[in-house]
Amino acid sequence: MSIQHTVVFRLVHEPGSTAEIEFLASGRATLISIPGVTAFAVNRQVSPKSDLTWQFSMVFADQAAYDAYNAHPAHVEFVETRWKTEVDAFQEYDFVAH
């Protein structure tokens, strides 16, 4: 069964800044290139009921594809070199159809 992996987050960068735009573009380019990632999307979170402002969303065909993504060097490097220093707060959710 396919899994929608999502993370909602807020950056340390100023909204509208060059650093923000660069982070989103770099994240997209890096993560979309990893095998098994489909339907990759960057969304703006606009509900005032949360102070998180962005979402990365992607779909994996199955748990094996998801596990391979998590262990992929490009993902690990992105988390270590960008995510940990440029993301101020985040929440992960994974969805499967009911």
Question: Which residues of the shown chain bind a copy of itself in the complex (CB under 8 A)?
Answer: 3-5, 8, 24, 41-47, 49-50, 52, 54-55, 57, 91-98
Token code pair at residue 67: 């596990």
Is residue 59 a contact partner of residue 5, using CB atoms and an 8 Å limit?
yes
Q: How near is the Cβ of 74 to a copy of itself at its closest, in Å?
A: 21
Q: How near is the Cβ of 44 to a copy of itself at its closest, in Å?
A: 5
Please, is 82 exposed, middle or buried when counting C-beta atoms within 10 Å of its C-beta (0-12, 13-18, 19+)?
Answer: middle
3-state secondary structure of 46: coil
Q: How near is the Cβ of 25 to a copy of itself at its closest, in Å?
A: 10
Is residue 93 a contact partner of residue 8, using CB atoms and an 8 Å limit?
yes
Q: How near is the Cβ of 55 to a copy of itself at its closest, in Å?
A: 6
